[in-house]
Chain A
Amino acid sequence: NAGVTQTPKFRVLKTGQSMTLLCAQDMNHEYMYWYRQDPGMGLRLIHYSVGEGTTAKGEVPDGYNVSRLKKQNFLLGLESAAPSQTSVYFCATRLAGVYEQFFGPGTRLTVL
């Protein structure tokens, strides 16, 4: 089992470019989350999903969109990247009724 995987691992964008980050899980977890982590700080929740076809805004949703068309995948989109979106992005999953979140390895995004 791969657990939680994220694609890509690294990416450099120019201001205004768009991209999609993919989170995939093979654990059949209902809940999925996208966080960003800036240097020296904790994780901030961008968007989350409690099941296939559902999404909700987190703490810092502006500038991002998400989709959960399949239970195992959670996509995070940046339509027009800005330098303020330079960060490490973590995806996490959780089984309904269980507290522990399982994190992917992260995507390091730099926006020039």
Chain B
Amino acid sequence: GQNIDQPTEMTATEGAIVQINCTYQTSGFNGLFWYQQHAGEAPTFLSYNVLDGLEEKGRFSSFLSRSKGYSYLLLKELQMKDSASYLCAGDAGKSTFGDGTTLTVKP
């Protein structure tokens, strides 16, 4: 199976660091996506990990462990505009999405 699990909601403070976890059953995925989706808008691509390890892109980093079926998205120096849903998706030629984690950034 390819179930994807991520926490439903998280809250963090402006300027802080937050880690959003994603777990999945290990068979079938070539890599893992992270998307950001603001309320009422379309998802936008953040990252794609195909190899184990951490990939950094500005304030956002994404980590993948294929053997453990585990990924996380790390957001540093949180800003109010980072309040959004963050979707984890497995790539098997076509994408399978988790239900998303709604992050609320408070002043």
Contacts and interface: CB of A to CB of B under 8 A. Distances in A.
Interface residues of A, number: 20
B99 A100 contact: no
Given A90-B43, A105-B42, A45 B33 contact: no
Contact of B97 (A40, A43, A104): A43
Given A40-B99, A42-B100, A48 B94 contact: yes
Interface string B91-107: 10011111110000000
- Interface SS of chain B: strand
- Interface SS of chain A: loop
Contact of B87 (A42, A45, A58, A102): A42
Interface residues of B, number: 21
Contacts, number: 48
22 contacts: A33-B94, A33-B95, A40-B99, A41-B99, A41-B100, A42-B4, A42-B97, A42-B98, A43-B89, A43-B95, A44-B97, A45-B94, A45-B95, A90-B43, A99-B33, A99-B50, A101-B45, A101-B95, A102-B45, A103-B43, A105-B41, A106-B41
Interface of A: 33, 35, 40-45, 48, 58-59, 90, 99-106
